[in-house]
């Protein structure tokens, strides 16, 4: 009896220590109506769950939950699999191409930019940049010149600019006392920008007409902004280098592709959605 117990224990230990059978992403974990569910699909599903903030442990409960979802999905999908119409086929093909294109470009973008690439990008975007004057201003926007003149007269008489902006301005900044924050002159339409540049600090303009209506403008302050140092914009430059790589790869692949376009098709066919109902 003792001998059999020892033998059994040793066998169990041997089984536990034996190497697991080799598995790969194509290992079939289940079939549903003849459709295989693979280990790779399970792994990708768990990765997507993690990306969505769902933390799951690689345990039996997680395995069973994920496999149950895939079984249900596959069972439902199989009901449509033999009845695809043109719209279904077009959608599946567009999704396939989008995924493949994204995967191809991800490989290009994922490599960390070098210091030389970042320096080159800095020179490209900021190398010729000069110090720029920014303005802090508020305005009161009304529809007619007479309204603007009346408001200017009230301000000249001592009325509070912010209060009048809240009461009379039709612009979106009215509830904020007309405040426009800091901006470069080039961000504004020309008549407004020219009026702002001509003002002294705390000075109020005469009525100014733009395409938006009539403005009474108050200049709160000005400041000179220097171009950023490389360290300040490094992260933005890294992103831009990656984006530039992707754009260059798209141009390379699209430019080198063999393209044959079918001539003579009527653009009005885009409205013929009945074509999508064909099986």
pLDDT by residue (tens digit) across 34-91?
999 999 999 999 999 998 988 888 899 999 999 999 999 999 998 888 788 999 999 9
pLDDT by residue (tens digit) across 125-178?
998 888 999 999 999 999 999 999 999 999 999 999 999 999 999 999 999 999
196, 189 in Cβ contact below 8 A? no
Query: Which of 176, 194, 225 lies at the terminal end of a domain, its last residue?
Result: 225
| Residue 146 maps to a domain | yes
Task: State the Cα angle at 54 between 48 and 56, rounded to 5°.
Answer: 95
Cβ count within 10 A of residue 222: 16
| Residue 216 maps to a domain | yes
Report d(CA 140, CA 167) in Å as an integer.
Answer: 9
Report d(CA 47, CA 196) in Å as an integer.
Answer: 54
Confidence of residue 107 (pLDDT cuts 50, 70, 90): confident
**C-alpha 213, offset from chain centre:** 35
Query: Which of 83, 106, 122 lies at the terminal end of a domain, its last residue?
Result: 83
How many structural domains compose the chain?
Answer: 2
| Residue 247 maps to a domain | no
Cβ count within 10 A of residue 147: 18
Q: Residue 172 has what DSSP assignment? A: T
126, 228 in Cβ contact below 8 A? yes
Report d(CA 26, CA 44) in Å as an integer.
Answer: 12
| Residue 153 maps to a domain | yes
pLDDT for residue 219 is more than 90: yes
| Residue 240 maps to a domain | no
| Residue 123 maps to a domain | no
Report d(CA 76, CA 58) in Å as an integer.
Answer: 26
Give the pairing of strands 132-142 and 35-38: unpaired
Q: How many CA atoms lie within 13 A of 243 on its CB side?
A: 7
**C-alpha 22, offset from chain centre:** 40
Query: Which of 185, 208, 225 lies at the terminal end of a domain, its last residue?
Result: 225
Task: Say yes or no: 141 and 216 in one domain.
Answer: yes
| Residue 264 maps to a domain | no
| Residue 137 maps to a domain | yes
pLDDT for residue 6 is more than 80: no
Q: Which range marks the domain in which residue 166 is found?
A: 132-225
* 151: CATH: 3.10.50.40
Task: Say yes or no: 140 and 218 in one domain.
Answer: yes
Q: Whose structure tokens read 């109506």?
A: 33
Task: Say yes or no: 141 and 214 in one domain.
Answer: yes
pLDDT of residue 21: 59
- Percent residues over pLDDT 90 in the chain: 81
Phi, psi of 206 (to 5 degrees): -75, 165
139, 217 in Cβ contact below 8 A? yes
pLDDT of residue 81: 81
């Amino acid at each position: 009896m003792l001998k059999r117990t020892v033998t059994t224990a040793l066998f169990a230990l041997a089984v536990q220590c034996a190497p697991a059978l080799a598995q790969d992403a194509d290992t079939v974990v289940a079939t549903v109506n003849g459709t295989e569910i693979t280990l790779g699909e399970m792994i990708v599903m768990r990765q997507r769950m993690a990306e969505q903030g769902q933390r799951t442990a690689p345990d039996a409960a997680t395995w069973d939950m994920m496999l149950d979802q895939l079984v249900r999905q596959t069972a439902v999908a199989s009901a449509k699999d033999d009845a695809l119409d043109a719209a279904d086929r077009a959608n599946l093909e567009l999704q396939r191409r989008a995924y493949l294109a994204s995967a191809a470009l991800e490989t290009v973008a994922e490599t960390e930019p070098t210091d030389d690439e970042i320096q080159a990008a800095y020179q490209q975007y900021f190398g010729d940049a000069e110090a720029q004057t920014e303005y802090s201003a508020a305005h009161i926007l009304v529809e007619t010149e007479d309204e603007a003149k009346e408001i200017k007269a009230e301000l000249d008489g001592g009325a509070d600019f912010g209060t009048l902006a809240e009461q009379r301005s039709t612009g979106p900044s009215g509830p904020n006392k007309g405040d426009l924050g800091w901006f470069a002159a080039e961000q504004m339409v020309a008549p407004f920008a020219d009026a702002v540049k001509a003002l002294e600090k705390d000075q109020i303009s005469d009525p100014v007409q733009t395409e938006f209506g009539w403005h009474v403008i108050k200049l709160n302050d000005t400041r000179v902004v220097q171009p950023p140092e490389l360290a300040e914009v490094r992260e933005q430059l890294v992103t831009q280098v990656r984006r530039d790589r992707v754009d260059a790869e798209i141009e390379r692949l699209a430019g080198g592709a063999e393209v044959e376009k079918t001539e003579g098709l009527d653009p009005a066919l885009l409205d013929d959605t009945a074509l999508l109902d064909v099986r």
